[in-house]
Amino acid sequence: MKRIVLTFGLISGAIVAGMMWLMLGLFASGTLDFDNGEVFGYATMIVALSMVFFGIKSYLELPPPILRQEGSFCAILCVLSSIK
């Protein structure tokens, strides 16, 4: 379980952190405004949180499934790895 949580949580956190730094640079240069940034922000969250879904899906292949723990740990690791 720890391997799955670390793998998918860190991938999700890397997606969020990478897009955050990319969007900060694009905002600073004036390429993005708030209207476009909103779309990119929500798309980033959907892609990053889909890693939680794939983490749960890969964990279901292993008996016995504990869905709440797996999804919660992936989501918490995603949030913690994207904090500055």
| 13-66 pLDDT, tens digit each | 999 999 999 988 988 898 888 888 888 889 998 998 898 889 888 877 776 655
pLDDT band, residue 70 (cuts 50/70/90): low
- pLDDT value at position 15? 92
Q: Which domain holds residue 13?
A: 2-82
- pTM (two decimals): 0.68
CA angle, 23 then 46 then 1, to 5°: 115
Count of structural domains, the chain: 1
- pLDDT value at position 77? 80
- Three-state secondary structure of 27-72: HHHCCCCHHHHHHHHHHHHHHHHHHHHHHHHHHHCCCCCCHHHHHH
Is it true that the peptide bond before 64 is cis, omega within 30 degrees of 0?
yes
